[in-house]
Amino acid sequence: MYDIIIIGAGIIGSFIAHDLSKRKCDVLVIDKEADIANGASMANSAIVHAGYDPKPGTLKAKLNVRGNRMYPGICKELGEPYVRKSAFVVATDDSESRILDKLKAQAEDREIEYRDISGEEARALEPNLSENVIRALEFPTTGIIYPWNIAIALMEEAVLNGVRLKLSEKVEKIDCLSQEKTGVSSSDGPAYLVTTDKGSYESRYVINAAGVNADTIYGMALGHEPDYNITPRRGEYYVLDEMREPVVSRVIYPVPGPAGKGVLVVPTIHNNILLGPNSLPVDDKDANCNTADALSYVKESVKKTVDNIPFDKVIRCFAGLRPSGDRGDFVIEESKTLKGFVNVACIDSPGLASAPAIAEYVVDEVMKDAFAYDKKAEYVHRKPIICMNALTDDEKNRLIKENPDYGEIVCRCCIVSKGEIIDAIRRPAGATTVKGVKKRVGPGLGRCQGGFCEPLVVDILAKELGIDKTEVRYDSKDSVMLMGMTKTVNKKEAVRS
């Protein structure tokens, strides 16, 4: 029996698991995906927003501001990059300028650092900003991160400290074991039985951090419709190739509208640029596909704020689904009818920016009395990741002397060595798929999109996991890559047998 089962290994589930791994309790994390952070945490704008725009009085406002302040310290602790990139919210006419007035007042209220500057001043700092821009608010505390790598780092540390992680397991049924079906266990026994396609697990508490599927999961436990509903909002993006001088050096936001923050131009940690997202409600919770209409909408929208975007540098398009709920705010509360069942749901924007504060709020406020597990005396931090690109040539050469794999370049777009890929596979909560390797260390993220390095990555995965190359998956168990051997080889096999 577990004390707590967390459903969902996205950034929210990972932060909560990490928080709980510091306490004396048994925690199990279950996710239907083949890897940590494969849903909304994988496909988003990768920004830690400053926190000026959520509606006053909402959890979103409170937790975004708090999350933004927590991130730099957490990233430092985990050894993951956090870059305080700064951002402009730009107005192109008087009505948009009035929205900036509102944001400015909210920033004042929330004690968020800002500057109010003219279009000219903004263009002096960002030469590619459109002539249309008449005014900008600068928010210097806006940060950029690699969301999935933070989730992976958190989960790795959680696993090192005793949390169990089960990936590729889909929750199919949740039974409430108490007599009154209230979730309260009669004695010290379990209150919930969570059944997946692979097994059954008992626990005292369930934390539902299932992203777009959180309402479905809650419905399973309730046996009827839950009191919130999630309609995913799809956002589509372009990724531009790494450039020596990216078109912007800050995040550029238009003024926010009813559909959200609008279409952004976002520099990433490795000098790529993200363009997007649009925001379209979709019924299908798996519909993270790209569409021609949305992509052209994104293209047109970014031109309103930024000039000279090199669209010939597009290397990829992707789409993500925001788990948007119908209450206009995050739903972070213990179920009113099922005691010990905690919903951490409807975590759309600014969910990523709020994530550390969400975990803190769940553990230290919402479930304060219930999760009164003592802190562990000893806590194991994860081993720092060896990132060759961040080292001096002397440091690199010391490592290569010890292990020549660090001198064998597999991914030439992002300069990733075989040694770093093997590390990513061998670490706790390590990569088991091509996509998992790509997320952790980068081969496939660059301009060749895996064209050169993917066969090498497949080779390394097969060797490290002790499986045949035909068993290597891109991501899920059904995402088959190689379908078999060629005729010639088959014949040879036949002769041998």
Which of 204, 161, 73 lies closest to 377, judged by CA? 161
Instruction: For residue 460, count CB atoms less than 10 angstroms from its CB and return exposed for 0-12, middle for 13-18, buried for 19 or more.
Output: buried
The Cα 456–Cα 410 span in angstroms is 7
Select which of 18, 49, 224, 381 is catalytic. Answer: 49
Applying CB under 8 A, the span of 91-99, 310-318, 345-353, 368-376 interacting with another protein comes to 310-318
C-alpha to C-alpha distance for 352 and 235, rounded to whole angstroms: 15
Identify which of residues 231 and 291 has a Cβ nearer to another protein in the complex.
291
C-beta atoms surrounding 479 within 10 Å: 13
Query: How far apart are CB 273 and another protein at their closest, in Å?
Result: 14
Among 239, 264, 347, 359, binds another protein (CB under 8 A): 239
Nearer to another protein, 320 or 351 (CB): 320
Q: Could you tell me which stretch among 17-25, 360-368, 424-432, 441-449 binds another protein (CB under 8 A)?
A: 441-449
Please tell me what DSSP assigns to residue 213. G
Interaction of residue 314 with another protein, rule CB under 8 A: yes
Stretch that binds another protein, among 143-151, 262-270, 309-317, 329-337 (CB under 8 A): 309-317
Kindly determine how many residues on this chain lie close enough to bind another protein according to the rule CB under 8 A.
Answer: 57
CB of residue 453 to another protein, shortest distance in Å:
10
Question: Rounded distance, CA 346 to CA 325, Å?
Answer: 5
Q: What is d(CA 165, CA 120) in angstroms, rounded to the nearest whole number?
A: 52
Q: Does 31 bind another protein (CB under 8 A)?
A: no
The phi and psi torsions of 88 (rounded to 5 degrees) equal: -110, 135
Q: How far is the CB of 287 from another protein (least distance, A)?
A: 9
| Selected binder of another protein within 448, 464, 465, 471 (CB under 8 A) | 448
Which of 52, 201, 218, 238 contacts another protein by CB under 8 A? 238
Q: Is 453 exposed, middle or buried (0-12, 13-18, 19+ CB in 10 A)?
A: buried
Q: Which two tokens stand for residue 275?
A: 């363009």
Note whether 140 and 115 are within 8 A (CB). Answer: yes
| 102 residue type, one letter | K
> Which lies closer to another protein via its Cβ, residue 119 or residue 235?
235
Question: Which residues touch 368 (CB under 8 Å, ≥6 apart)?
Answer: none
Task: Rule CB under 8 A: say whether 180 interacts with another protein.
Answer: no
Q: C-alpha angle 125/132/61, rounded to 5°?
A: 70
Local structure of residue 243 (DSSP, 8 states): -
The two three-digit tokens of residue 44, written as one number: 């988003």
Which residues ranging from 242 to 301 are in contact with another protein (CB under 8 A)?
A: 244, 286, 288-292, 295
Q: Which of 488, 494, 495, 496 binds another protein (CB under 8 A)?
A: 488
- Provide the sign of the torsion angle of the four alpha carbons 6, 8, 13, 17, taken in this order: positive
Q: Residue 195 pairs with which residues in a beta bridge?
A: 173, 200
Based on CB atoms, which residue is closest to another protein, 92 or 433? 433
Tokens coding 116: 């109010």
Check if the beta carbon of residue 136 is closer than 8 Å to that of residue 89: yes
Site membership for another protein, residue 421 (CB under 8 A)? no
- For residue 431, the minimal CB distance to another protein (Å) is 15
Residue among 111, 59, 103, 6 at smallest CA distance from 355: 59
Per rule CB under 8 A, is residue 386 in the interface with another protein?
no
Among 186, 200, 308, 397, the residue binding another protein under the rule CB under 8 A is 397
Q: Least separation, in Å, of the C-beta of 417 and another protein?
A: 8
Cβ of residue 407: shortest distance to another protein, in angstroms?
4
Cα-based angle 471, 476, 479 (whole degrees, multiple of 5): 60
Contact between 396 and another protein (CB under 8 A)?
Answer: yes
Nearer to another protein among residue 292 and residue 372 (C-beta) = 292
Nearest distance, CB of residue 215 and another protein, angstroms: 20
CB 84 within 8 A of CB 142: yes
- Which is nearer to another protein, 115 or 316 (by Cβ)? 316
Residue 123 in contact with another protein, rule: CB under 8 A: no
C-alpha 294/C-alpha 280 separation (Å) is 9
Minimal distance, residue 144 CB to another protein, in Å = 21
Separation between Cα atoms, residue 481 and residue 15, nearest integer Å: 32
Residue (35 or 360) nearer to another protein, CB: 35
Smaller CB separation from another protein, 73 or 310: 310
Closest to 174 in 3D by CA, of 341, 12, 1: 341
Active-site residue 18, yes or no? no
Q: Is 469 in the site for another protein (CB under 8 A)?
A: yes
Contact pick of 372, 393, 466, 495 for another protein (by CB under 8 A): 393
317 is a contact residue toward another protein (CB under 8 A): yes
Tokens encoding 65 = 């501001």
Q: Which residues bind another protein (CB under 8 A)?
A: 238-239, 244, 286, 288-292, 295, 314-318, 393, 396-397, 400-401, 404-405, 407-409, 412-413, 415, 434, 447-452, 454-455, 459, 469-470, 473-489
Q: Which residues are catalytic?
A: 49
